[in-house]
Chains A and B, each alone.
Chain A
């Protein structure tokens, strides 16, 4: 994979025999964003595929170095924009590790975090399924998926105030308790979900056209998957049951019962089935989290040096006023050190390696974006297949370019 500043020209891809060079993207309906693939084709068959990334390079990692710890979090949410809460969760866990307050996070805050992370996973898989189906010509799946996603975004909006980038998870807890009526709406979603999953499975799982397009397409052997560092549903579609939630539990995931769905077929259809199963497993976790939310409790750490005290108190207490002023005007400081924290995002292992030099801003925020590593597998998958299959392969790997290019 190259990341030059000038677009690839045909000369860069070697031309032999009857091969023709075709540029697919960066504006293409099926590349799921701004991916350019330089294809060397013979007829309809791909001989060589060279992904060209960087069309959405935003400089988010560099931006973070000039922002307070809490401000940087709004930036990292815009990396994997299909799963902002997973990004936020990983970032706050990393910063909390550096601060050494991992054990002081209130129980209720941890449950809410798990709830948000799992809801965002379902919403993300909805987008993947909908767009993947559109690529293959099945339009109606998109409407079912986006309807379900809409319900989840409504919940995010209720909790955090924004549909897509709620910025609800914060270092030290979450930003305020869940609003009134939230749990009733969550219950309605839990009730609606099984029917919607039945619809999705009914539309696609036994659909002969969908099966023809996905079975035995985009073969990714377990050895290749490991060699390319593929994680998430794409890895589990190759039969390897690696899940960060099980391997390195965080936020109390060890207290939830859920399975890690895997498939041994190693093709696009297997990855599709894994995602469907995963949505149901996520809903299982949501249901368990829902039960834990009946008991009230604090949702932020009781440390005014890290999380500003409640707004009501600033009229009554001079100390609270000062803490508010300090947090707002210069943020909080994090002890020097470095830390790596990973979570299981919808696309796989999402990690942050964060270095602090003791300032109120990060020294370095390095991301391990799951999509970038998953996308590498495309180069090995594509040769020998038709161009139409390439669309299936990209869709089944589910890259998000905000995350790949950052």
Chain B
């Protein structure tokens, strides 16, 4: 479709905003364990998360939209994860990457939180130990889909 001079498009502001929002989901640089390496791998040439507009890993939680909990969350780390989540600006989304973050994985013991969803709300769970980068890309796709359908991330989950 080509727009000539004097022509214009009409759309709902909501739709445009969601389209823009879903195409620029910036994740937080927060690597925890093994899964963090696969999280880094999605930015490499082979998988190239830049195709989805999510290659901008932000080191500050205040500039990030998406938290990828990549690995086992220890009892000592859980308060830090919670604080980082609280510092992120609304709307925000969370991917629980891998078996450990989702359920504690093989580490059913005193040291590991049995699922990060006991600490913060999770939007998408990715199975695997660790999940393949393709799995993580699919999870980001699902987040985008949620955004386009009007999901408001953590705001709904907490209210």
Residue of A nearest to B58 (CB): A29
Residue of B nearest to A6 (CB): B76
A150/B46 in contact, CB under 8 A: yes
B59/A146 in contact, CB under 8 A: no
**Alpha-carbon distance between A58 and B75 when the two chains are bound, in angstroms:** 9
Q: Which of A58, A63, A131 has the most C-beta atoms of chain B within 10 angstroms of its own C-beta?
A: A58
Q: How far is the CB of A195 from chain B (nearest CB, A)?
A: 16
A150/B74 in contact, CB under 8 A: no
**Alpha-carbon distance between A33 and B31 when the two chains are bound, in angstroms:** 6
B30/A27 in contact, CB under 8 A: yes
Contact residues in B for A63 (Cβ distance below 8 Å): 106-107, 109
Residue of A nearest to B38 (CB): A164
Contact residues in B for A27 (Cβ distance below 8 Å): 28-30, 61, 80, 84
B34 adjacent to chain A (CB < 8 Å) = yes
* The one of A33, A74, A147, A163 that contacts B36, using a Cβ cutoff of 8 Å: A33
**Alpha-carbon distance between A369 and B74 when the two chains are bound, in angstroms:** 19
Contact residues in A for B17 (Cβ distance below 8 Å): none
Contact residues in B for A165 (Cβ distance below 8 Å): 34, 129-130
B72 adjacent to chain A (CB < 8 Å) = yes
* The one of A5, A34, A58, A146 that contacts B44, using a Cβ cutoff of 8 Å: A146
Q: Which of A5, A62, A81 has the most C-beta atoms of chain B within 10 angstroms of its own C-beta?
A: A81
Contact residues in A for B36 (Cβ distance below 8 Å): 33
Contact residues in B for A54 (Cβ distance below 8 Å): 74, 76
Contact residues in A for B77 (Cβ distance below 8 Å): 26, 34, 55-56
A143 adjacent to chain B (CB < 8 Å) = yes
A29/B59 in contact, CB under 8 A: yes
B10 adjacent to chain A (CB < 8 Å) = no
Q: How far is the CB of A3 from chain B (nearest CB, A)?
A: 9
Q: How far is the CB of B26 from chain A (nearest CB, A)?
A: 14
Residue of A nearest to B73 (CB): A56
Contact residues in A for B76 (Cβ distance below 8 Å): 5, 54-55, 57
Contact residues in A for B8 (Cβ distance below 8 Å): none
B119 adjacent to chain A (CB < 8 Å) = no
Q: Which residues of A, 11-68, contact B by the 8 Å Cβ criterion?
A: 26-29, 33-34, 54-60, 62-63
Chain B interface, >50% SS class: loop
Q: Which residues of A, 68-115, contact B by the 8 Å Cβ criterion?
A: 74-75, 78, 81-82
**Alpha-carbon distance between A59 and B110 when the two chains are bound, in angstroms:** 7
Residue of B nearest to A401 (CB): B33
Chain A interface, >50% SS class: loop
Residue of B nearest to A131 (CB): B40
B106/A74 in contact, CB under 8 A: yes
B33/A147 in contact, CB under 8 A: no
A58/B112 in contact, CB under 8 A: yes
Residue of A nearest to B74 (CB): A57
B72/A56 in contact, CB under 8 A: yes
A127 adjacent to chain B (CB < 8 Å) = yes
**Alpha-carbon distance between A82 and B36 when the two chains are bound, in angstroms:** 11
A78/B34 in contact, CB under 8 A: yes
Q: How far is the CB of B159 from chain A (nearest CB, A)?
A: 26
B74/A56 in contact, CB under 8 A: yes
B29/A34 in contact, CB under 8 A: no
Contact residues in B for A5 (Cβ distance below 8 Å): 75-76
Residue of B nearest to A54 (CB): B76
Contact residues in B for A59 (Cβ distance below 8 Å): 107, 109-112
A150/B34 in contact, CB under 8 A: no
B37 adjacent to chain A (CB < 8 Å) = yes
**Alpha-carbon distance between A57 and B72 when the two chains are bound, in angstroms:** 9
Contact residues in B for A405 (Cβ distance below 8 Å): 74
B132 adjacent to chain A (CB < 8 Å) = yes
Contact residues in B for A55 (Cβ distance below 8 Å): 74, 76-77, 80
**Alpha-carbon distance between A198 and B5 when the two chains are bound, in angstroms:** 53
B32 adjacent to chain A (CB < 8 Å) = yes
Assuming the A-B contacts A401-B33, A402-B33, are A62 and B74 also in contact, with contact meaning beta carbons closer than 8 angstroms in the complex? no
Contact residues in A for B59 (Cβ distance below 8 Å): 28-29
B21 adjacent to chain A (CB < 8 Å) = no
A142 adjacent to chain B (CB < 8 Å) = yes
Residue of B nearest to A164 (CB): B130
B residues in contact (CB < 8 Å) with A: 28-34, 36-38, 40-41, 43-46, 57, 59, 61, 71-72, 74-77, 80, 84, 106-107, 109-112, 129-130, 132
Show 19 A/B contacts (Cβ-Cβ < 8 Å), sorted by A: A28-B59, A29-B59, A33-B32, A33-B36, A55-B76, A56-B33, A57-B76, A58-B109, A58-B111, A62-B109, A63-B106, A75-B107, A78-B33, A78-B34, A127-B37, A146-B41, A150-B46, A164-B37, A402-B34
- A-B pairs with lowest CB-CB distance, top 6: A59-B111, A146-B44, A81-B34, A59-B109, A29-B59, A55-B77
A residues in contact (CB < 8 Å) with B: 5, 26-29, 33-34, 54-60, 62-63, 74-75, 78, 81-82, 127, 131, 142-143, 146-147, 149-150, 162-165, 401-402, 405
